[in-house]
Structure 1
Amino acid sequence: MSGRARSEPGSSPERLAFFTDAIFAIAMTLLAVELERPHEKELASARALGSFLADQQGSYLAFALAFVLLWSVWRRHHKLMDQIGGLSKAFTAWHAPLLLLVAFLPFPTALIGASIGNPLAQTLFAGTMAAMVFCEAVLKEIAGSAGLVTGDPAEAHRHAGDSWGVGLWFALSIGFAWLFSYAFVLWFVAPLAATYGGALISHLRLSPAGHPIPDDEDAPRT
């Protein structure tokens, strides 16, 4: 008999990872399905087709943006699952809202593709992305706190801080969408929110009760 320990039914990290990968793959494919196809009159000449393609530039921009964002979330989740040694009920349950938002994203993507400057369309897209990344952050927090990761739990919490930073960036962009029609440009620099926002959140974690961490000069001497 094999010495490898068996997971309880429904508690296999591999099965959860495979299922999550499938949802991401379907959602990323649906992004392309939402793109409008030219009709017979648009295919009648190169000029007509060129005009049609130019009119759809907002849709292509929305498709590329949503694809890259979904790919980024999937890639981070993939790395997380590679470090998971077991599952908890909370960790498994939080995949439900995450995957719901992943599957929903093609809809707001189609909306901003049709009217990328519309503040309500931007709000729906940014809100979906913010909620999705917040779910990602919660998963990392649970993985670190429940001891599900095979590596350093502090590393999982640090990566969770990066995700919180990105989620807050998307949430803040909602307010800007109602002031500026080009607020969606903020989404292209979301990685900066992970770098700097995540570092700030990690610093606050290390600072008890929100107070600054004393430096070496302020440290008590023995």
Structure 2
Amino acid sequence: MSGPARPEPGFSPERLAFFTDAIFAIAMTLLAVELERPEEKELASARALGSFLAEHRGSYLAFALAFVLLWSVWRRHHRLMDRIGGLSKAFTGWHAPFLLLVAFLPFPTAVIGASIGNPLAQTLFAGTMAAMVFCEAALKDVSGSTGLVTGDPAETHRHAGESWGVGLWFVLSAGVAWLFPYAFVLWFAAPLAATYGGALISRLRTAPASHPDPYDGDVPRT
């Protein structure tokens, strides 16, 4: 009697999920490591410490924002992996750029923390997030199209549309940053981009191609 089928070497969903979780955990920890620590002179009095904290408030805002964004991406990936019954080369391959961008995010977070109103700093952060979420969308589309997910593939494609919507929102914010120094406030509306932008993208992707019927009209068909 043969045992349960084992996945091909290098294509174990559990190992990929564990490795991805580790990268996310390290990246989220590095966000705090990048924060500036007060030195002895800043700790000498409450006023000095207060001035230090106020001076670096942009870093704390950037940390909180990046942490929440990484958390949300990780949760979505976690839900996806819980529905994955097997791996393919395309699905595994898309994890390389996806995790590269996750590991890279602490750097643009530190940059915008030091100069949050700088348009190039905002573009670097928004571009990194957009590319990361686009990779997330590609993972969902690949898993839904190749039968890797359990359940309804249409639901996975719908979630992919939400990710495409969030990625496009970050691209939009990168452009706005060169016109408006506080364009980063748009990042807080990413959930709305997922809900409404994702619904629009999903509708466009599932709409049938429009081909006019040459027999429509007053001419009778033969």
Report sequence identity in percent. 87
Residue by residue over 1:91-146, the C-alpha shift from the partner in whole angstroms, topping out at 9 and shown as x without a partner, is 00000000000000000000000000000000000000000000000000000000
Equivalent residues, number: 211
Q: What is the TM-score of this pair, normalised by structure 2? A: 0.93
CA–CA distance in 1 between the matches of 2:37 and 2:2? 54
CA–CA distance in 2 between the matches of 1:2 and 1:34? 52
CA–CA distance in 1 between the matches of 2:105 and 2:125? 7
Where does the alignment leave 5 or more consecutive residues of structure 2 unmatched?
212-222
Where does the alignment leave 5 or more consecutive residues of structure 1 unmatched?
212-222
2:49 maps to 49
2:77 maps to 77
Query: In the alignment, is the contact (CA less than 8 A) between 1:204 and 1:210 conserved in 2?
Result: no
1:29 maps to 29
1:153 maps to 153
2:71 is the alignment partner of 1:97: no
Residue by residue over 1:24-49, the C-alpha shift from the partner in whole angstroms, topping out at 9 and shown as x without a partner, is 00000000000000011101111101
Cα offset for 1:22? 0.1
**Structure label with greater radius of gyration:** 2
2:8 maps to 8
Cα offset for 1:5? 1.7
CA–CA distance in 1 between the matches of 2:9 and 2:15? 10
1:66 maps to 66
Aligned counterparts, 1:102-141, within 5 A: 102-141=102-141
Q: What is the TM-score of this pair, normalised by structure 1? A: 0.93
SS of the aligned residue for 1:209 comes to coil
Taking only aligned residues, the RMSD between alpha carbons, in angstroms, comes to 1.1
The residue type paired with residue 103 of structure 2 is A
Cα offset for 1:207? 1.1
Moved over 3 A (4+): none
